[in-house]
Amino acid sequence: MRNSRLRTAVATTAVAAGSAGLLAGSLYVVHAEGRSGGQEARLAGDARAGRPATGQAAAKAARIAGRLGDRTTGAYVDPSGRPVVTVTNATDAAAVRAAGAVPKMAERSPAALRRVTGALRSAFSDIPGTGWAVDPATSKVTVWTDDTVTGARMAAVQRTARRMGAAVRMVRIPGSLHTLALGGDAIFGQGARCSLGFNVERGGQGFFLTAGHCGNEVRTWAADQQGAETLGTTVDSDFPGNDFALVETEQGAAGQSAVDLYNGRAQPITEAGEAVVGQRVFRSGSTTGLHSGSVTATGATVNFAEGTVTGMIQTTVCAEPGDSGGPLFAGGTALGLTSGGSGDCRTGGVTFFQPVTEALQVFGARIG
């Protein structure tokens, strides 16, 4: 996999004995620098404690927002942990309240925000290091640029943002946004390494998900660099546009889905769900192990050097090269597949994930 400004994260799998099947994560436990054993244990404990409180609120917010469809600008979990759903009329506000969430009147209509994002896509979707997402809490579109966007390109982004007026908020992201691909060890193929995301099944057959930028490069995956232990074969891959791939497992039978917590234990994954702004989430990957953070945007557009990916989950969870394709989850709920971002797990950063629900729908699969 080639290096790029916006990088993708390629990671590995762990093979469990018996019915556990393939665990999402890494063959090697590599803890992030600076994290004590006690901190690592507490983090893994949090990940195994069932769905976090914000996960319950997020699930409710996502469910209600889904019913409203185009009549909402989105949903989020507020700092006190309450599910909040944006609305544009009193009737919907009453329905949201009756469903157990907090309604918030949007300052701009969903149609107005779609016009803004459409204008941004037309203006600079070909400028790597840029992206945008609707912020449901403010009814604005957050536009970000990384440190590689300078000179004429930065001027073009700023001109477009100024034309949008108060509907746009500009944010500078330190470092460079890039996919997190890496040649090395772990789930191997054609000199690349990626992380397994989630075990899934289709028609009784076993498969697993990983990142599309991984699947584009690798057809046959192995658990070792020499290729002696074959894991499976890529049967479908989509990147850019989306960032997911489907791999048919070597053993054929569908396996249980679980995530490696890098402490000798695993978190069973029993369902797939939608991420919501403000939700606490966890990510597992072969380079950096287990890390947590919060969702800062959904439906995000990211302009990688290889092309544009839409509908992404943006988070504060760190990731590094080798983590691509790894799972984003909350308790037993699968949320996403690691795609790319900026920064690292020493200084922090911004990371983007492909929603797993879209991958399952496209492939006609379900969590194993």
Residue whose pair of structure tokens reads 């609305």 in the numeric block: 87
The rounded distance, in Å, linking the Cα atoms of 137 and 34 is 34
Q: Which residue has the tokens 């108060």?
A: 166
Question: Active site includes 243?
Answer: yes
Which is nearest to 1 in space by CA: 260, 187, 232, 230? Answer: 187
Q: Is 109 a catalytic residue?
A: no
The two three-digit tokens of residue 35, written as one number: 């994290």
The answer to whether residue 147 is catalytic is no
| Pick from 182, 252, 250, 251: nearest CA to 214 | 182
**Active-site residue, selected from the candidate residues 26, 176, 286, 324:** 324
H-helix segments, 212-287 = 212-215
Can you tell me the distance from the alpha carbon of 68 to that of 129, in angstroms, rounded to the nearest whole number? 33
Q: Considering the candidates 139, 178, 213, 284, report the single residue annotated as catalytic.
A: 213
Residue 17 vs residues 14, 255, 291, 304: alpha-carbon distances, Å: 10, 11, 25, 38
Q: Which residue do the tokens 């609707």 mark?
A: 134
Characterize 203-223 residue by residue with b for buried, 16 or more Cβ atoms within 10 angstroms of its Cβ, and e for exposed. Answer: eeebbbbbbbbbbbbbeebbb
Q: List the catalytic residue out of 135, 238, 243, 323.
A: 243
Q: Which residues are catalytic?
A: 213, 243, 324
